[in-house]
Structure 1
Amino acid sequence: MRAVTIDAYGETPRLTEQPMPKVGPDSVLVRVRAAGVNPVDWRVADGAVDPLLNAYFPLTLGWDVAGVVAQVGVAVTEFAVGDEVVAYNRQDFAQFGTWAEYTPVPLRSLAPKSAGMSWEEAGGLPLAGLTAYQALAAAGVNGGGTVLIHAAGGGVGGFATQIAASRGARVIGTTSRTESFPFLRELGAEPVLSGEGLAERVRELAPEGVDASLDFLGGGSVAVSAELVRVPHRIVSVVDGSVKELGGQYVWVHPSGPDLRALNALAEAGSLRVHVSSAIPLEQAEEAVRLSRGGRVRGKIVLTVPAE
């Protein structure tokens, strides 16, 4: 099969021929149709997560997948060959990623693909969608109130904005560019410019401060949130571990089939849309990495694999 791999940290990912992976008892083999591109993917290639995960080379990159079940493990009864599925396919080691024609996926990570989503949309949902969903849960954003979302139009922030708004929250969303204001309003946020003076701009909209804050940006976002959030425990960051020193929470996304089903339900209800900025063929993965490294991506970059 074809896969986008590296043979050592620091290499440029490239398309190679790899043997078909084996399928464990509690896993399925997925014929990939689309695989999301996230900053963590090229950071894996750079070696950034080596302290957390054992890596085995050649290493196939990618953690997001949407595709069709091609084979089921001997203990699997919940899915069958031919089922359309999605998954955040992060395992306890790094080797068999999703930037490939086939990928093995543990049962715990799987959910049915929403029939209303294209392959590209479904492939861009899992990691970013789960990060947003689980961050909102940690911050207690389950109903009304006002929530500040840093990088509200990004790959993760765009999902968090939509989900929070669908729950009845008032969302104030930051962006570094005024030209992104219409997009943030479309998602359900009141846009504000990030950078120096952010706290004052937020207080112009919410003089009493905000109930919760989600940081998907880093930098000084957590410090600004500490000025605005009344209960520090409701400050959540997925990028800045120093949030814990302020009494907030650091969230590391985890695979969850049930949470993916909940995201599917939101999509089917019309409350959640996956904005695909670029759909790029698997053999052009290097270009997808270049775009992702450049930042300023609105929505999701997705690699596509044609049906056989």
Structure 2
Amino acid sequence: MATMQAWQYTTRNHPFESNLTLNKVPKLRAPSKSTSDKTPSILVRVYAASINPADHKVPLTPIVGYFINSKPATPGLDYAGVVETVPAGCPTTLKPGDKVLGRHEWPYQHGALAEYVLGQPNGLVKLPDGLSFVQGAAIGTAALSALQPLELANIKAGDSVFINGGSGGVGSFTLQIAKLLGAAHVTVTCGPANVDRMKALGADEVINYREADVVDVLKATAKDTGRFYDIVIENVGAIDTVYENCHHFVRPGGIFVQVSGTNILFIAKRMVLPGFLSGGKRKFSSYLAYNTPDQLQRIAEWANEGKLRVEIDEEFAFENVKEAFAKLRGGRAQGKIVVRVPREGET
């Protein structure tokens, strides 16, 4: 029987990486036929995978973590590699030998931290020739989580955008994509180590949250200069006061989009009581990434054309996945953390 290597977990202890073991398991096989555009059916040989906070937070979330997938499970939402098998009837134009980048949607059992993955057709697109497997693997969830909230907010040319949490994988994509979509002014928050990096990516204003209270700065700027925002993108997920005070710095009719945060009650409170918390004229929306091939391909082409920088914080060898998760949990990554799955002839 053909085998492959895969990182797997069956337990849900803290920290997440303590549950992981590198196992030799039967090689995944694509079904002979595909009947749904969401069937995980395209067999892809993985060359690189990136990891996201959701990869360790969701499995450890009370109740949800027990039922999100069958065990043993392999973590990892995002990957890049080469198509090996496409079943008959699969709704795709991809063919064996194509270089691709992909993203899983929940729930799934066989994630990207393995030598092979069963790719979901609605989350697989061609990898442009100018991008490496490492760059391709870094795009998926983070880039979609940047583009989709901005489009949900109906961003238009000339808008002012505030991004709370600009230095991580999602935030750095959000900053760049907001500018690509015509934002006239983008303000981001970050720690001192990332201030210059945020400016280099196009931020018009950077608030160092270690040196100043974010809400106080936003309120003072609105009062002193008249700068009010059309869109707030909340990537931090734990600062109630930003939304509660947004009537001081968000235009009437503006929108506050909550991207991060796994606390259901935290989000529910904002959705039930938006009028009381934001002055009554600002809209609140929560957001969860979903696969859309057209959007994924558009992002890949932006990166290929040099319009979008894919920032890689660090690359880890496949055998060092535990170290990769430990760094991710530390919250200090400047860009994406990528795991390489070595293959002959890789780029």
Same structural fold, with TM-score higher than 0.5 when normalized by the shorter chain: yes
Q: What residue is the counterpart of 2:290 in the other structure?
A: 254
Question: How has the CA–CA distance of structure 1 residues 35 and 106 changed in structure 2, closer, same or farther, with 3 Å as cutoff?
Answer: same
Aligned residues: 306
Which residue of the other structure, out of 312, 316, 321, is the alignment partner of 1:276?
A: 312
Task: Note the 1:134-173 alignment, pairs <5 A.
Answer: 134-169=148-183, 170-173=185-188
Note the aligned Cα RMSD (angstroms): 2.0
Within the alignment, does 1:289 sit opposite 2:325 as a pair? Answer: yes
Question: How has the CA–CA distance of structure 1 residues 48 and 64 changed in structure 2, closer, same or farther, with 3 Å as cutoff?
Answer: farther
What displacement does 1:106 show? 1.6
Which residue of the other structure, out of 216, 219, 244, is the alignment partner of 2:238?
A: 219
Contact between 1:147 and 1:172, CA under 8 Å: does it hold in 2?
Answer: yes
Specify the SS of the correspondent of 2:198: helix
The one-character-per-residue Cα deviations of 1:58-99 (angstroms, maximum 9, x if unpaired) are: 1011010111001111213511111011111124x2311010
Specify the SS of the correspondent of 1:230: strand
What displacement does 1:224 show? 4.5
Within the alignment, does 1:4 sit opposite 2:7 as a pair? Answer: yes
Contact between 1:138 and 1:234, CA under 8 Å: does it hold in 2?
Answer: no
Within the alignment, does 1:263 sit opposite 2:299 as a pair? Answer: yes
Question: How has the CA–CA distance of structure 1 residues 260 and 53 changed in structure 2, closer, same or farther, with 3 Å as cutoff?
Answer: farther
* 1:162 aligned partner, one-letter code: Q
Distance 1:164 1:134 in 2: 11
* 1:161 aligned partner, one-letter code: L
Moved runs in structure 1, 4+ residues, more than 4 A? Answer: none
Within the alignment, does 1:209 sit opposite 2:216 as a pair? Answer: no
Unpaired stretches in structure 2, ≥5 consecutive residues: 35-40, 262-266, 275-282
Contact between 1:4 and 1:16, CA under 8 Å: does it hold in 2?
Answer: yes
Question: How has the CA–CA distance of structure 1 residues 243 and 185 changed in structure 2, closer, same or farther, with 3 Å as cutoff?
Answer: farther
The one-character-per-residue Cα deviations of 1:229-258 (angstroms, maximum 9, x if unpaired) are: 124661101124244232400001111211
Which residue of the other structure, out of 45, 58, 63, is the alignment partner of 1:31?
A: 45
Q: What residue is the counterpart of 2:343 in the other structure?
A: 307
Q: Which moved further from structure 2: 153-162 or 18-27?
A: 18-27
The TM-score with structure 1 as length reference comes to: 0.92
Specify the SS of the correspondent of 2:229: coil
Question: How has the CA–CA distance of structure 1 residues 72 and 275 changed in structure 2, closer, same or farther, with 3 Å as cutoff?
Answer: same
RCO comparison, higher one (Cα < 8 Å, 6+): 1
The TM-score with structure 2 as length reference comes to: 0.82
Q: What residue is the counterpart of 2:37 in the other structure?
A: none
Contact between 1:238 and 1:252, CA under 8 Å: does it hold in 2?
Answer: yes
Specify the SS of the correspondent of 1:234: strand
Within the alignment, does 1:238 sit opposite 2:259 as a pair? Answer: yes
The one-character-per-residue Cα deviations of 1:7-28 (angstroms, maximum 9, x if unpaired) are: 2222521211111223133421
Question: How has the CA–CA distance of structure 1 residues 101 and 49 changed in structure 2, closer, same or farther, with 3 Å as cutoff?
Answer: farther
* 2:311 aligned partner, one-letter code: H
Contact between 2:230 and 2:254, CA under 8 Å: does it hold in 1?
Answer: no
Question: How has the CA–CA distance of structure 1 residues 105 and 126 changed in structure 2, closer, same or farther, with 3 Å as cutoff?
Answer: same
Within the alignment, does 1:198 sit opposite 2:214 as a pair? Answer: yes
Larger radius of gyration: 2
Distance 2:143 2:188 in 1: 17
Within the alignment, does 1:16 sit opposite 2:23 as a pair? Answer: yes
